[in-house]
Amino acid sequence: MPKRTDIQSVLVIGSGPIVIGQAAEFDYSGTQACRVLKAEGLRVILVNSNPATIMTDPEIADATYVEPITPEFVEKIIVKERPDALLPTLGGQTALNTAISMHEQGVLEKYGVELIGANVEAINKGEDRDLFKDVVEAVRAKIGHGESARSYICHSMDDVLKGVEQLGGYPVVVRPSFTMGGAGSGFAHDEEELRRIAGQGLTLSPTTEVLLEESILGWKEYELELMRDKHDNVVVVCSIENFDPMGVHTGDSITVAPAMTLTDREYQRLRDIGIAIIREVGVDTGGCNIQFAVNPDDGRIIVIEMNPRVSRSSALASKATGFPIAKIAAKLAVGYTLDEIPNDITEKTPASFEPTLDYVVVKAPRFAFEKFPSADSTLTTTMKSVGEAMAIGRNFTEALQKALRSLEKKGSQFTFVGEPGDKTALLEEAIRPTDGRINSVMQAIRAGATQEEVFESTKIDPWFVDQLFLIKELADELAAADRLDPSLLAEAKRHGFSDAQIAEIRGLREDVVREVRHALGVRPVYKTVDTCAAEFAAKTPYFYSSYDEENEVAPREKPAVIILGSGPNRIGQGIEFDYSCVHASFALSDAGYETVMVNCNPETVSTDYDTSDRLYFEPLTLEDVLEIVHAESLAGPIAGVIVQLGGQTPLGLSQALKDNGVPVVGTPPEAIHAAEDRGAFGQVLAEAGLPAPKHGTATTFAGAKAIADEIGYPVLVRPSYVLGGRGMEIVYDETRLEAYIAESTEISPSRPVLVDRFLDDAIEIDVDALYDGHELYLGGVMEHIEEAGIHSGDSACALPPITLGGFDIKRLRASTEAIAKGVGVRGLINIQFAMAGDILYVLEANPRASRTVPFTSKATAVPLAKAAARISLGATIAELRAEGLLPASGDGGTLPLDAPISVKEAVMPWSRFRDIHGRGVDTILGPEMRSTGEVMGIDSVFGTAYAKSQAAAYGPLPTKGRAFISVANRDKRSMIFPARELVAHGFELLATSGTAEVLKRNGIHATVVRKQSEGTGPNGERTIVQLIHEGEVDLIVNTPYGTGGRLDGYDIRTAAVARSVPCLTTVQALAAAVQGIDALNHGDVGVRSLQEHAEHLTAARD
Amino acid sequence: MTTSTRGASRTPAVLVLEDGRIFRGRAYGAVGVTFGEAVFSTGMTGYQETLTDPSYHRQVVVMTAPHVGNTGVNDEDPESKRIWVAGYVVRDPARVPSNWRSRRSLDEELTKQGVVGISGIDTRALTRHLRERGAMRVGIFSGNALPDEGTMLAEVRQAPEMKGASLYEEVATTEAYVVPAIGEKKFTVAAVDLGIKGMTPHRMAERGIEVHVLPATATAEDIYAVGPDGVFFSNGPGDPEKAEHPVSLMREVLERKTPLFGICFGNQILGRALGFGTYKLKYGHRGINQPVQDRTTGKVEVTAHNHGFAVDAPLDRVSDTPYGRAEVSHVCLNDQVVEGLQLLDQPAFSVQYHPEAAAGPHDAAYLFDRFVELMAEKGAQRA
C-alpha cells in the first residue's frame, strides 16, 4: 500500500532545548524524519526552539519555526501554515505532551489537523500508568506472560501513605506520571524519603499523579525497540540489556546490545509480550520502546513501561543496528508498510525484518557531577547523565573498554596499577550505583573479590562479572609477561586494551607501545555495521574497529577529509559542536571531497550513516584516530583532518596528530597553542596593543593574595588547564580566596591558579568570526544579557548587540582581526570581550568553532561552519562570497537596522539534582558553566525575542500577578527602574524588609514578606518560601551575593525550581524580562519562519 | 563459577575450507577432526536448539553472533536427544554460563558429545566468504600435532558433498512413538520423521493433537494404521532430490486427500510430489530474522529458517499439478525464494521455514491452527 495521498503538509514538533533526559537524539530522529517527509514531496513545517540542531537548518524543512514549543505558539503556527497533519512522536516527551494538550484543547480538531504516527488513545494507554497496567493485564490474559509490578496509584499524600501499607512496606518506587526521563522518580526507603519524593512527584506530574511500586531492585533489566505498520506487521529492531541491574535509570546505566544473557525461550517471551503490548496499546504506525525486568532467580517477567514514540533508546538502537527507526517511523506515518521500505544498508532487502548483530554494542553514560558538587551522586530511577558514548566491538570486552575510553574522562578507563584498596571497602562502595561503579568493581576484583562477592554486592549478571575478570586476568598477564609478544599483545587488543592502558601496566610510554605494536603488525581492522551479520552485502560504509582478521574498508578515488567529532555530550561541549561537524561534512561533500566522520556519540546527526560518505563509530583518542587515518590512507588520498569543529576533544589531539605526520588542516596546532597558552596569547595581545584584564598566576595563597591585593577585588580565580569554567569562581574578599585555595585540589606547583581582575559591571561580548589569512568575516557579535563573570554558556545573549554602537563594532572588528591574524587562524575563531567603562578587554580566544556558531548562523542566515570547513581546505572568503556560501558583501557586523533580533537563553538542569539530604541544588549562575542546552527567541524587537526565549526555556513570563524581589546590596540601585515597570504592568511586589525599604524610598510600594530564616510569623504569616511552595508567587527576582553560604536565597531559588516559577538571578535578566513582559502586554506576538527571516535579511542586504 | 584463566582452551585448531582458505583459532568442545558442509547461522539466541536440530546433520555451523554459550546448557531447550551439527565455529565462547536454568557449560556439553569445534576465528570473514563463494565443504582439525595444510585440504576435499546426499534416514527415529495431546484430544496426526524437531509435535499437542511420530521408512499402511485426521512431513537434512521414498509416500497421502502439512524438508517433498523441481541455494537461509510474506494476507512474519535447498515453483501464477491447482503461498522477501506451497483443490500445504520456531519468533504459529482447521473441515465433511 503506497503513501497516503490525502496529506500534503505535515507539522513536525521537535524536542526543544537539550536537557537531561531529552538530548541530541531527538535532533537525529527529527532530522531523519523531516528529510524523509520532504523527499516524499510533502511540505514540512517544523517547530523547534533549539538553534543548535541540524533539524532547524533552513534546508531541512520547508518552513522552520524557531519558536517556543508551547501549545500557544504551536497554535499560531498552525493558524498560519494550516498543515494537514501533525507528527508528534519524534520530538520526545515535549512534542508528545504539546500535541496531547492541543488535542485536548480542541485546537487540532478546530483546524482539521490529523495526528499521525500515534493516536491520542494509544499515547494515553502507553503513558498513563493506570491504563498501561490494564494493557499489561490484557496481554497476560491473551498470551499468558508478562505482568506489572504490584503498584498503587496516588493523587495525594494520603494515598501515598496508604499505598505503602498496601504494598507491604518499604522500599517502594515512586514514579510521577507524564514526566520526561523519569523526572521526579526515586526509591523511598522510609517515610521521610517518601514524603519528599512523592511530594515533588505530585507537583511535577501534569496530572498530579504518582505511582508507588513494589521494589524490583537488582533484577535484570531489558529493553526492546519495536516497530509496527498499519498492516499490523511488527518487528523487534533491537534488544538491549542493562549491565547495571534494576534501580538505575536506563539512561544512566551501561547498556549492551544485543541482550547477552537470555536463552531463546526467554527472549522470545519478551518479544511475544512486546508485540502483544504494541498491539494492545494500539500504536498504529511507528516505533515504541518497552522495558522489562527479569527476576534472575526464576525468570519472572515484569513489564516496567513503554514509550509510544521514538526515544533515546531508539536512537541508540538505530546506531547499534543500522536500522533507522525514526526514518522508518516517518515513512510508516505517511502510509507505507515495512515491506515496502527498503533496508538502506543492503538496498535489496526490505525493512520488514529484525536486524541481527555480529558484534557487541556498549553504551556508557557521561555524568557531570563535578559541576554540581553538592548533588547526590547516587544513581536512581531519575536520569542524571548529560551524555553518552557508544562503542562497537566484536566482543563485549572490546566494546566495553572502547566505550569507557570514549567517555574521555579522567578515571573512566580501567586502571591496573597501584594499590586497589581494601576489598571489603570496595565491595561496600560498589553496592551504591554511581558514576564509575564499574571501576570500583574492577578494583574490588584486583583486591581479590570473588565473582560471587561481586554479584552479591552489585547484582550485576555473573556473565558480565566474568567478563570483568577476563579483563583483569589479561591485565595480570600483561604485567607478568617477560616481554610484549605478538600473541599476548593481540589478545590484549582483542579485549579492548588501549595502548595507554598497556603502557601504564608495562611502565612504558603510550607511543612506545604503539611503535612496538605496529612493528609487530598488530593493527585493527574495520568491520561494517550491516543489519544482517554479513548475510547480505552492505552498501553503506558504517565502520567500527576490531582486532580481527579481515578489513572491510574499500579503496576510494576521491580525496578524503576526515572530520573529528566531539564525543559524548557534556556540559560545555554539546550538540553545537556536532552541528558544526555535520555542516563541514555537507559543505565538503558538495565541494567534491569524500567525507569521513569519526565520532562515538550515538545521539547525534554526525553518527547517522547518511550524513557522511563514511562513518567510523570510534573513540576520539589519539590511538583510535591514528588507526583510522592509517586505514583511510591505505584506501585512498587524504586531503586533511579537521580538528577545529568538534570542540576541545579533537582540538586537544591537534599537536599529537601533526607530530604523527597527520595532515591537520585549518588552524595549525601552533596557532591553537598561541591562543590557549596564557603566555603566548599575552604576547599576541601585547603585539596587537589590546588590553586584557590584569592577572597573575600563583601556586600558594600568599602568592594569590599578593596578586589580588595588587589588582583589587573582586578577582576571578581558576585552576589552569580546565574546560567549561571548571572550578572557576569570583572571589570578593581575602577570606574566600584563602578558602578557595585550600579547597581546590587542582592547584599544585605545576598547575598554578590563575587570578584575573574581575570586571564588575562589564558588558560581556562574544564574537564568532572567520579568517582566511587575509580577510576577516565577522560572523556575529553577541551581547550578553548577564554581566561578565557568568559563564558565556550560561548567559543569555542578543544578536545583533542591542546596546553597542557602530564605533564599538568597529573596535571589535579591529581587535578580532588582530587576534585572528596574530594567532594564525584559518577558519573559525571565537573571542570573548568585556567592555568595562570605555575599555574593551579581551577575555579569551578560542581558535575553533564555538558553542554559538549554530546560533550565529541561524540569526544571520549564514552557514559559518560550512564556510570554516571550506577555508580549512584552502578556500578564501572572497571565493566563498563569489560562490554564494557567504553574502556577497557585508557581514555579521553590518547587519541592516531592521534585521531581526535573536536572543539565546541557556537552559539549566537544576531540577535533576538533589543533595544527599534530598534538597535541591542552588541555582545561581557563575563562571562555571552548568547549562545543558539553549533556546533561541527571534523577533523584530528585543523584548519579544527575549519573551520568546524565556517561554521556550522555562515557560512563559507572567504578564501579571505577584513578583517577589530580593537582591544583593550591589544590585539594589539597578533594580529600581525595572521594579517600577513591573508595578506599572500591574504586578503586586513582595520583598524582604531590606529590599522593600529601598523600594519604598523610591516611591514603589512592596509588601514585606518574612524571610525563611525568620520563620512563620506570630500570626501565622507565611515566609516567602512557603508562599512560593503554595503557588502564590508568579515571578521571582533573587540575586545572590557570593556562592559560599547557605543564605536565604538558596531556599527561595530551590523552591522556585521545585514549583517551576520563573526565577531571575541577575538584575540584567530582570531588565530584559521587563521588556519581554512589556512586549507580551502590548499586542499580539507573532511567529515567523527562519526562511522568511532569511528572505527579509537577504533583501535588506542587497 | 569457575576461576579459569582467560580463553578456556589454548589447544590450537584450524578450519580449512575446500577452496583452500584457512582460519586458525583454538579448540572448542571436543579435540579432534571433523568434516561437513560449512554453513552460517545468524540467530543471536538459541544455540542449544540449533545444535540439536537434526537438519544440521553433517553441517559445520558457523555462529555469526560472537558470544556463544552465555546461558549454558539446560535440559529443556534441546530439539532432539543429541547434538547433530558436525562441527561448531564460534568467536568468543563463554567462560561462565549464567542462567537460572543452566545445568552445565556448553563447552562441557560439546566435549561430552564429541563435537569438534573451533573458537577465536574471524567468523565474520568466514561468513562473508561463504556468502560470496557459497556453502562448501570444511574441516576442523584441533590438537597439538596437526597435519600440514596440504594434507588437511586434501582430506577436506575427500569428504562427501551435501548436494546429492540422502541423510534423513540417519537422523530419523527407528521406532514409532506417540506424543499425547495436551488437554482434550481432538485429532490424530501421523508425523513422518525425516529429522523432526521436538517443538513440532509439541506445538501440535498444544492444540489437542495426538501425534504419532513414524520412522522415515514408514509406509502408507503404517500411516493409515494410526487412523490419522492429518499427515505431517517434518524437516530434515540432505538433498530433497534423493528423498524418493518420502516423495512417493506423500503422493499416496495426496491421492487420499488427507489433510497434509509439511515443514522445511516436508515442503521440498511436497514440491517434488507436485512435480516442481528443487535446487540448492548458494548459501542457504539460516537464522531467526527472515521476513516471509503470507501471500494470501499480505502480512509479513519474522521467521526461523534453516534450509540449504528450495522449491522451484512459479511465483506469478497458479500451477496445475496432478493433485489440482497449486500456488506459492509464502515467499521470502529478502530474495523471493519460495517459502510455502498450498493446494487449492485439496487440503494440503507446507512451508519451507519453521513455524514451530525453537529457536526463533512465534509469528508463524498460526500455521498449526491452519492445519487444525483443515482437519476440522475435513472432519465436518466426513460427518
* Confidence bin at A355 (pLDDT 50/70/90): very high
**Would B6 be classed as within a structural domain?**
no
The confidence score (pLDDT) of residue B363 equals 96
Q: Which of A236, A463, A477 sits opposite B98 (nearest CB)?
A: A463
Domain boundary among B158, B177, B209: B158
Is the preceding omega at residue A896 within 30 degrees of 0, hence cis? no
The confidence score (pLDDT) of residue A746 equals 67
**Would B116 be classed as within a structural domain?**
yes
**For chain B (length 383 residues), average pLDDT per consecutive 10?**
48 97 97 97 97 97 98 97 97 96 96 97 98 96 94 96 92 97 97 97 98 97 97 97 97 97 98 97 96 95 97 97 97 97 97 96 96 93 70
User: Minimum mean pLDDT among A125-129, A320-324, A846-850: which range?
Assistant: A125-129
**Would B221 be classed as within a structural domain?**
yes
> Same domain for B235 and B357?
yes
Clarify whether B330 is annotated catalytic. no
> Same domain for B188 and B151?
no
Q: Is B293 on the interface with A (CB under 8 A)?
A: yes
For residue B105, say whether it is annotated as part of any ligand binding site: no
Domain boundary among B138, B158, B178: B158
* Residues in a beta bridge with A936: A904
Q: Out of B245, B285, B330, B354, pick the active-site residue.
A: B354
The confidence score (pLDDT) of residue A970 equals 79
**Would B212 be classed as within a structural domain?**
yes
Is the preceding omega at residue A375 within 30 degrees of 0, hence cis? no
* Residues in a beta bridge with A1023: A1010
Q: A–B: how many Cβ contacts below 8 A?
A: 181
Which residues on B lie below 8 Å from A260 (Cβ)? 67, 70
Number of residues in chain A:
1102
Structural contact between residues A733 and A708, judged by C-beta atoms closer than 8 angstroms: no
CA distance A295 to chain B (A): 9
Residue closest to A71 by CA, chosen among A114, A105, A37? A105
Structural contact between residues A737 and A715, judged by C-beta atoms closer than 8 angstroms: yes
Cβ pair A261:B48 closer than 8 A: no
Question: Is residue A406's pLDDT more than 90?
Answer: yes
> Same domain for B94 and B211?
no
List the domains of chain A with CATH numbers.
9-124 (3.40.50.20), 144-300+309-361 (3.30.470.20), 389-519 (1.10.1030.10), 525-668 (3.40.50.20), 675-690+761-899 (3.30.470.20), 695-757 (3.30.1490.20), 951-1081 (3.40.50.1380)
Which residues on B lie below 8 Å from A356 (Cβ)? 42-44, 64-65, 287-289
The confidence score (pLDDT) of residue A335 equals 93
Q: What is the mean pLDDT of chain A?
A: 92
**Would B63 be classed as within a structural domain?**
yes
> Same domain for B152 and B179?
no
Mean pLDDT of A1012-1020: 85
Cα nearest neighbour of B90 on chain A: A358
**Would B172 be classed as within a structural domain?**
yes
Cα nearest neighbour of A349 on chain B: B334
Per DSSP (E only), the strands in B322-382 are 324-332, 338-343, 348-351
Each residue's pLDDT tens digit, A17-62: 999 888 899 999 999 999 999 999 999 999 999 999 999 999 999 9
Which residues on A lie below 8 Å from B127 (Cβ)? 358, 533-535
Q: Which of B124, B289, B359 sits opposite A264 (nearest CB)?
A: B359
Q: Is A551 on the interface with B (CB under 8 A)?
A: no
* Confidence bin at A721 (pLDDT 50/70/90): low
Please give the residue range of the domain that contains residue B57.
12-158
Cα nearest neighbour of A466 on chain B: B96
Residue closest to A830 by CA, chosen among A697, A982, A955, A644? A644
> Same domain for B174 and B77?
no
> Same domain for B93 and B199?
no
CA distance A427 to chain B (A): 19
ipTM > 0.85 for the complex = yes
Number of residues in chain B:
383
Q: What is the DSSP letter of A343?
A: -
Each residue's pLDDT tens digit, A279-298: 999 988 999 999 999 999 99
Q: Is B360 on the interface with A (CB under 8 A)?
A: yes
Structural contact between residues A14 and A55, judged by C-beta atoms closer than 8 angstroms: yes
Cβ pair A452:B101 closer than 8 A: no
State the CATH number of the domain containing residue B231.
Answer: 3.40.50.880
CA distance B184 to chain A (A): 19
The confidence score (pLDDT) of residue A310 equals 87
Question: Is residue A772's pLDDT more than 90?
Answer: yes
* Confidence bin at A1 (pLDDT 50/70/90): very low
Q: Which of B2, B3, B6, B305 should be substituted to probe chain A, the one whose Cβ sees the most A Cβ atoms within 10 Å?
A: B6
For residue A216, say whether it is annotated as part of any ligand binding site: yes
Question: Is residue A744's pLDDT more than 80?
Answer: no
Q: Which of B99, B124, B288 sits opposite A358 (nearest CB)?
A: B124
> Same domain for B111 and B198?
no
Question: Is residue A160's pLDDT more than 50?
Answer: yes
Question: Is residue A1045's pLDDT more than 50?
Answer: no
> Same domain for B218 and B345?
yes
Each residue's pLDDT tens digit, A946-1000: 999 999 998 889 999 999 998 888 788 889 999 999 999 999 999 988 889 999 9
Is the preceding omega at residue A800 within 30 degrees of 0, hence cis? yes
State the CATH number of the domain containing residue B111.
Answer: 3.50.30.20
Clarify whether B49 is annotated catalytic. no
* Confidence bin at A745 (pLDDT 50/70/90): low
Contacts of A18 (CB under 8 A, 6+ apart): A24, A50, A52, A569, A574, A575, A907, A932, A933, A934
Q: Which of A355, A465, A527 sits opposite B124 (nearest CB)?
A: A527
Q: Is B1 on the interface with A (CB under 8 A)?
A: yes
> Same domain for B133 and B173?
no
C-alpha cell at A300: 519472572
How many folded domains does chain B comprise?
2
For residue A791, say whether it is annotated as part of any ligand binding site: yes
**Would B5 be classed as within a structural domain?**
no
> Same domain for B200 and B286?
yes
Q: Which of A264, A272, A465 sits opposite B49 (nearest CB)?
A: A264
The confidence score (pLDDT) of residue A1048 equals 66
Alpha carbon A914 to its chain's center:
19
Share of chain A above pLDDT 90, in %: 70
Which residues on B lie below 8 Å from A236 (Cβ)? 302
Question: Is residue A2's pLDDT more than 70?
Answer: no
**Would B3 be classed as within a structural domain?**
no
For residue A759, say whether it is annotated as part of any ligand binding site: yes
Q: Is B123 on the interface with A (CB under 8 A)?
A: yes
Mean pLDDT of A904-915: 84
Residues 323-352 of B with CB under 8 A from A: 333-335
Q: Is B65 on the interface with A (CB under 8 A)?
A: yes
Q: Which residue type occupies A1101? A: R
* Confidence bin at A724 (pLDDT 50/70/90): low
Cα nearest neighbour of B43 on chain A: A356
Rounded CA-CA distance A239/A270 in Å is: 10
The confidence score (pLDDT) of residue A375 equals 87
C-alpha cell at B92: 568468543
> Same domain for B22 and B135?
yes
Domain boundary among B104, B139, B158: B158
Q: Is A775 on the interface with B (CB under 8 A)?
A: no
> Same domain for B299 and B207?
yes
Cβ pair A263:B66 closer than 8 A: no
Q: Out of B49, B245, B264, B307, pick the active-site residue.
A: B264
Clarify whether B129 is annotated catalytic. no
For chain B, counts of helices (H) and of strands (E) = 10, 20
Each residue's pLDDT tens digit, A475-510: 999 999 999 999 999 999 999 999 999 999 999 999
Question: Is residue A257's pLDDT more than 50?
Answer: yes
